[in-house]
Amino acid sequence: MARTSLSGFPEWLPEGRIVEQFVLDHLRHVFELHGFAGIETRAVETLEQLESKGETSKEIYVLDRLQAMKEAEAGRRSSKERRMGLHFDLTVPFARYVIENANELDFPFKRYQIQKVWRGERPQDGRFREFTQADIDVVGMGELPFHYEVELPLVMAEALSTLPIPRVTVLVNNRKVVQGVCEALGVTDVEAALRGLDKLDKIGPEGVAAELAGNGITAEQTATLLAMAQIRSASAEEIRQGIAGLDLSSELLEEGVDQLCALLESAELRLPGVVVADLKIARGLDYYTGSVYETVMEGHEDLGSICSGGRYDSLATDGKRTYPGVGLSIGVSRLVSRLISAPVLRASRKVPAAVLVAVTDEADRHRSDAVATALRGRGIPCDVAPTAAKFGKQIKFADKRGIPFVWFPGADGEADTVKDIRSGEQIEAVADQWMPAQEDLAPRVEVC
């Protein structure tokens, strides 16, 4: 990480940015292969919009124009401007974008969105106040088929499992299972049950039992809920057996189990070993109505979920129509910060240049420029030495940055040469023909 004077606002050195850009390019590539259209929304929303989901006010950064503030202090402020704040996720702005452009968009609308978001939280525990999220969502107009609840987590699973990072596991559950179990048990306060179960890893079964008891849930009901929360498997068969062992009956439960198992079966066909059903996954947000998803990275479980989401029946509504959807969001900055600092990944060099063209004499700089132009014209990134220093110094310039090749324009009548400064091998070369190995063309991102 780069040095920075404001905590919670991460910045990378150029070599760290290469790792981040590599991750972002990879995500974009996978999202586009799956047909998701890229959009960006403005960073700013009205406070009204930002607060419409409730309970988030502590996180919002509110904007004011400095000039307007000074005018207000001087008692000269007349016009009331609409209060605006920075978006704290990409879901609220996407909902507004869909409503505003409903007539121009084609539904179901599949979009990806990779942008910074801001939260005014205390930057403790490695929490960032500014960070990049990468979201995919598909929204329908009025209706959205279930199969998207299978497709979207598999897109994210593919995107993450094809990165050179530790093994990721997508944990899935279905709200209908939990609600169905509550229904069959006669537990009416489903929200309380969800909130309690969500803390299972933190406070243990006794803690959850105490909390549920405080919400009027009986010991017997709690025992069944905790038994349900223990069920975890990648096998649809085992999930069905586990649920059967609870000995409960509810239409909603049956529907939820069918959906959860359909997801597991598709996942097993398409990406074996990545998706696991875990019935204690609750997800805090109350707008999820079907599948819910979390993702953990092996050996980095302390990061929490690096990619989460679910099915919602109403992303937005414009009064006439509702827009149901399914979506997941990757916390890119949190992930990349770990990949850089662990370190898990590193860049093979600090700059894009594959070649440094040496300068023999300032009067001959135009010859070095011509070599660089020829190389660039053939797609080879390069830099020209800043001064006609001694060659040893020019080689050191390349070495410090990790540039693998130094090009020496030949004296009059002599051939140019290019030196691989890693091996020391130096060969004659022509700028219109020489090509570095494909793997040296751009900085590589390597596993540490």
Pick from 323, 384, 343: which is nearest to 91 by CA? 323
CA atoms within 13 A on the CB side of 147: 2
311: contact with its own copies by CB under 8 A:
no
Please tell me whether residue 150 adopts helix, strand or coil conformation.
helix
198 labeled part of a ligand binding site: no
In the complex, the smallest distance separating the C-beta of residue 166 from its own copies, rounded to whole angstroms, is 23
Please identify which residue in 23, 60, 261, 358 interacts with its own copies, judged by CB under 8 A: 60
# residues near its own copies by CB under 8 A: 93
**Contact at 8 Å (CB) between 201 and 217?**
no
Residue 189 vs 369, nearer CB to its own copies = 369
**Contact at 8 Å (CB) between 310 and 288?**
yes
Residue 94 vs 408, nearer CB to its own copies = 94
Residues from 363 through 422 that contact its own copies (CB under 8 A) = 365-366, 369, 373, 376, 379-384, 386-387, 397, 400-401
Residue 69 vs 244, nearer CB to its own copies = 69
Element (H, E) at 123: none
Residue 212 vs 323, nearer CB to its own copies = 323
439: contact with its own copies by CB under 8 A:
no
Residues from 244 through 303 that contact its own copies (CB under 8 A) = 266, 269-270
Residue 428 pairs in a beta bridge with 417
Pick from 8, 31, 32: which is nearest to 116 by CA? 8
Question: Per the structure block, which two tokens stand in for 18?
Answer: 């290469």
126: contact with its own copies by CB under 8 A:
no
Residue 104 vs 247, nearer CB to its own copies = 104
Residue 282 vs 358, nearer CB to its own copies = 358
Pick from 27, 24, 159, 21: which is nearest to 442 by CA? 21
77: contact with its own copies by CB under 8 A:
no
In the complex, the smallest distance separating the C-beta of residue 151 from its own copies, rounded to whole angstroms, is 8
Please tell me whether residue 315 adopts helix, strand or coil conformation.
strand
287 labeled part of a ligand binding site: yes
Stretch that binds its own copies, among 140-148, 294-302, 310-318, 430-438 (CB under 8 A): 140-148
Please tell me whether residue 223 adopts helix, strand or coil conformation.
helix
Residues from 317 through 356 that contact its own copies (CB under 8 A) = 350-353
Residue 3 pairs in a beta bridge with none
Please tell me whether residue 323 adopts helix, strand or coil conformation.
strand
Residues from 29 through 58 that contact its own copies (CB under 8 A) = 32-44, 46-47, 57-58
416 labeled part of a ligand binding site: no
Angle between helix 332-341 and helix 14-33 axes, rounded to 10 deg: 130
- Enumerate residues 6+ apart whose C-beta is below 8 A from 47: 60, 62, 83, 84, 85
CA distance 273 to 267: 8
Please identify which residue in 55, 68, 142, 207 interacts with its own copies, judged by CB under 8 A: 68
Stretch that binds its own copies, among 111-119, 198-206, 310-318, 334-342 (CB under 8 A): 111-119
240: contact with its own copies by CB under 8 A:
no
Tell me whether residue 403 is exposed, middle or buried, using C-beta atoms within 10 angstroms of its C-beta: 0 to 12, 13 to 18, 19 or more: buried
Annotated binding-site ranges: 89-91, 119, 133, 137, 283, 287-288
Annotated binding-site ranges for L-histidine: 89-91, 119, 133, 137, 283, 287-288
